[in-house]
Amino acid sequence: MSELKFEVSQQNGLIDANFDILKSQLAEKMEEYKGKKFSEETKKEAKSDLAYLRKLKEATNRRKIEVKNEYMKPYTQFEAGVKELIGLIDDPIRLIDGQIKEFEENRVRQKRAEIEAAYEELVSEELKDYMPLECIYGSKWNNAGTTMKSIRQEIRLEAEKTRGEIAVISNMQSDKVQDALNLYMANRSLSSAIKYITDYEARKAEILAAQKEEAARKEERMRQEEIDRIRREERERIAEEERIRNQARQEAVEEIKTVDDAAAAPLACEASRKVIYTVVATPEELEEIETALTSLGIYYERKDV
């Protein structure tokens, strides 16, 4: 294709205007309005001046637009011609660009098919749920400069890494291993899976410690209650024995206080009283006491204790 050259001949435009003269005249004219004060009596004059100035401004601006339009005519015609030329060039550009894009899309589709085949070959079934192709697909894998050898190596390394991380999670001593594996499957983050288990085990340890502490408190309460029961029963037993002793003592006293009134009657008189003595003596001394009591005509009953 022969080289096409866009040749343009351009002459700078020139616009003449009596700016200096008009500027001087305007400055002199506008000087009249500096500090000018209007009153109610001169309001009509103020409105007239205002209308004049606005009309002057509008005429000046309109003249600017007329000059600009006239000045831009050559460029406007030139721009229309350029757009026509560009339109002619754009047609083959679109045609060629479309074909190139189609070539690239075909290349990418073919590359994608090769990558999928490599994935199926290199990744075992048990790993596919943990490393779907879309999750490991490299951002540069579709580039023409990225070789299938390097892509296969990346897939192989990713599979080894995934297998190792699954083993790390599976070997953790926890009943939440499967949940952690599900979490790893969802986000492919070994650290988050490990943290999930460690956090769970920490909470579990706290709960077990609390349960153990509560069990110890309960056991201590039961032990203390048993001690209290034994002590209470012991007090009750002692109290009952004391009651029995007191009752026996009272019964003994009552027994000691009783005498055979019929046997005592011959020796008793109106002034006789019934008394109890407790004597500690030898048999010989007791015999002497009883002899003395008999010689005195006193009725007595001996009740050994």
- Return the minimum-mean-pLDDT range out of 147-151, 191-195, 282-286: 282-286
- Return the minimum-mean-pLDDT range out of 178-182, 219-223, 250-254: 250-254
pLDDT at 299: 76
pLDDT at 49: 82
- What is each CA distance from 223 to 86, 210, 220, 230, in whole angstroms? 102, 20, 5, 11
109 or 264: which carries more pLDDT confidence? Answer: 109
Please state the rounded mean pLDDT for residues 247-255.
77
pLDDT at 106: 95
pLDDT at 273: 78
pLDDT at 305: 66
User: Rounded to two decimals, what is the model's pTM?
Assistant: 0.51
199 or 285: which carries more pLDDT confidence? Answer: 199
pLDDT at 192: 96
| Degrees to nearest 5, angle at CA 67 with 66 and 73 | 90
**Confidence grade of residue 187 (pLDDT, cut at 50, 70, 90):** very high
pLDDT at 2: 63
pLDDT at 39: 81
Please state the rounded mean pLDDT for residues 269-298.
83
Could you tell me the two tokens for 4? 């096409």
- What is each CA distance from 166 to 121, 124, 149, 179, 186, in whole angstroms? 20, 13, 26, 12, 13
pLDDT at 30: 82
Whole-angstrom distance, CA of residue 292 vs CA of residue 303: 17
pLDDT digits (tens, 9 = 90+) for 1-42: 567 776 767 777 777 888 888 888 888 878 777 777 878 888
Alpha helices in 143-189 (DSSP H): 148-170, 177-187
- What is each CA distance from 232 to 71, 94, 221, 247, 263, in whole angstroms? 123, 107, 16, 22, 50
What integer best gives the mean pLDDT of the chain? 88
pLDDT digits (tens, 9 = 90+) for 80-139: 998 988 998 898 899 999 999 999 999 999 999 999 999 999 999 999 999 999 999 999
**Confidence grade of residue 196 (pLDDT, cut at 50, 70, 90):** very high
